[in-house]
Structures are given as C-alpha cells and as structure tokens.
Amino acid sequence: MDILLTSEAEHFIQQQLETGRFSSVSEVVDAGIRLLEERQTYHGRFEELRRDVEIGIAQLDRDQVVEGETFMQELRAKLHQKREQFPE
C-alpha cells in the first residue's frame, strides 16, 4: 500500500526515528494506527458511560434510587442465598 504524507507528517516520522524509539517508518505508522484504534475504543466506551450517566440522572429525577448501604445489604443477602443453594 502506498500512502502520501504531508511534509509535516514526514518530518514527525523522521523525528521519531531519530529518537531511536522506532527502527522503521512502518513501526511509527503501526504505533499511530494502534493509538487511533485505542482512541476509537475509548470514545465508544466514553459514549456508553455518558448514556449510563444520563440514565442514572433520569432515574434520580424520578426518585428511582437505592441508598448505597441498602444496595450492599441486598447484594450480601443474595450472595448468602446463592451460597446456601450451591455449597462448595
């Protein structure tokens, strides 16, 4: 695959090679692609979290909340019940 780079991109790649961190242009390009993939993954996760926060705020507005201690007590009770059903 052939690609055309701007002079700025070529200069940046050359700088990266001069630092010794990368031994070839391909390594620099691969690192850039990995960063882009990570960015897209994190952006998707960020959008999921943003939606979750919006849902939580809407539930709070409708007074559909459970106190933290109440939640933990219910969770412990469910865990205890499961352990009784399926002893080790």
Q: Is 29 exposed, middle or buried (0-12, 13-18, 19+ CB in 10 A)?
A: middle
Domain locations along the chain: 7-85
List the alpha helices (DSSP H) in 1-88. 7-19, 25-61, 68-85
- Whether residue 20 has pLDDT greater than 90: yes
Give the position of tokens 């242009």: 25
Global pTM reads: 0.55
**What tokens were used for 23?**
């031994």
Q: Which range, of 6-10, 30-34, 69-73, 83-87, averages the lowest pLDDT?
A: 83-87
* Digit-coded pLDDT (tens) for 4-13: 999 999 999 9
